[in-house]
Amino acid sequence: MEVATTTASTGGTVENDSNQQTAPSSIPWPPIIVAGSVLVGLLLAYIAPLPWPDADGALRGLGGLIVLAALGIDLWGYRTFRPHQTTLRPDRAASALVTAGPFRYSRNPFYVGNVMLVVGLGLAFANWWLVLLGPVALVLMDRLAARPEEKHLEDAFGAEYLAYKARVGRWL
């Protein structure tokens, strides 16, 4: 994911002047991980369904709330990126460093939202496989998307990114 935004210290925008910047990855891993987790979870639920003990539907309701929260995080992140005219695509180079909005709390709010979506869908649709695949999606997001992106941002924004990284956790 590209990151672009206002820095907390100056209120200005930190932009990457290099047009030659390479993307953190040539593959947009996050949507592939989410779609793959959902497809695998649906397939496993069909082949080997796991019993669902939630007779009163409380877990399903919780799942619905988690899905709404995940979508809210994504919308908030999108709205934070939009004024800076940076792409959300994780296979493109960052043009600015975003530290406002949900990025004040997590360096990877979109990825947090993505994993919440997988788990929330599992709870909402009574699919334990999706719930179990949530941690797998998190590890894959970390290894395939977040870590390469951090290296990219460090190369692109240097001290500004390192200061941001010291203030804000990778996930929460």
Per-residue pLDDT of the chain (172 residues; tens, 9 = 90+): 334 433 333 333 344 544 446 887 889 999 999 999 999 999 999 999 999 888 789 999 999 999 999 999 999 999 998 888 777 888 888 888 999 999 999 999 999 999 999 999 999 999 999 999 999 999 999 999 999 999 999 999 999 999 999 999 999 8
> What is the per-residue pLDDT for 21?
62
> What is the per-residue pLDDT for 4?
40
Beta bridge partners of 114: none
As given in the structure block, the two tokens for residue 129 are 């496989």
> What is the per-residue pLDDT for 10?
35
> What is the per-residue pLDDT for 11?
38
3-class SS of residue 96: strand
Sign of CA dihedral 100, 1, 160, 82: negative
Distance CA 73, CA 134 (A): 17
Distance CA 85, CA 118 (A): 28
51 Cβ contact partners less than 8 Å away, ≥ 6 residues apart: none
DSSP state of 26: S
Comparing C-alpha atoms, which of 48, 73, 63 is closest to residue 126?
63
> What is the per-residue pLDDT for 84?
81
How close are the terminal C-alpha atoms of the chain, in Å?
A: 17
